[in-house]
């Protein structure tokens, strides 16, 4: 069985996630997981992403409304404060709850509607864009 550890090199995960998001060839329920994988791929890359990867990542993140406002007080991602293991387990639990019974997200924040909320998407997108630095327009100059 092939095993992949995020710590080995997360930049290919970021690139793959960005390309899938940009393809438009995905189901609605895949969008949240791909966004979170893109964010984690950017966050877990020791150095900055290679420039070509960063272009794809910025383009994919440009489709997220980073100014979305809260319709409810908390979201799943806000319950996880910087713990990489919990973040990874939360994404795995979202897509395979039976395979990973220990959910690091409180039950009241684990409903699918909260995961798919635009504010839930805005939080990791803002963080990822900050970590990437610059804007797509900066690269055209």
Above 90 in pLDDT, residue 35?
Answer: yes
What's the pTM? 0.81
Residue 63: pLDDT band (50, 70, 90) is very high
Residue 65: pLDDT band (50, 70, 90) is very high
Above 60 in pLDDT, residue 138?
Answer: no
What is the mean pLDDT of the segment spanning 16-38? 91
Total Cβ atoms within 10 A of residue 62? 13
pLDDT in tens, 93-126: 888 877 766 788 888 888 888 888 888 888 889 9
Residue 43 near residue 60 (C-beta atoms within 8 A): no
More confident residue, 81 or 29: 29
What are the residue ranges spanned by the domains of the chain? 11-132
Above 50 in pLDDT, residue 52?
Answer: yes
Residue 140: pLDDT band (50, 70, 90) is very low
Three-class SS string for the chain?
CCCCCCCCCCHHHHHHHHHHHHHCCCCHHHHHHHHHHHHHHHHCCCCCCCHHHHHHHHHHHCCCCCCCCCCCCCCHHHHCCCCHHHHHHHHHHHHCCCCCCCCCCCHHHCCHHHHCCHHHHHHHHHHHHHHHCCCHHHHHC
Residue 53: pLDDT band (50, 70, 90) is very high
């Amino acid at each position: 069985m092939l095993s992949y550890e995020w710590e080995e090199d997360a930049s290919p995960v970021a690139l793959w996630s960005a390309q899938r998001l940009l393809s438009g060839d995905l189901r609605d329920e895949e969008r949240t997981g791909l966004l979170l994988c893109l964010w984690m791929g950017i966050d877990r890359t020791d150095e900055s992403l290679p420039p070509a990867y960063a272009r794809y990542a910025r383009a994919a993140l440009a489709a997220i409304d980073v100014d979305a406002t809260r319709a409810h007080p908390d979201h799943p991602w806000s319950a996880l404060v910087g713990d990489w293991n919990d973040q990874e387990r939360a994404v795995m639990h979202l897509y395979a709850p039976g395979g990973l019974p220990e959910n690091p997200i409180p039950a009241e924040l684990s409903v699918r509607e909260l995961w798919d909320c635009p504010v839930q998407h805005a939080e990791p997108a803002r963080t990822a864009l900050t970590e990437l630095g610059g804007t797509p327009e900066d690269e055209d100059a």
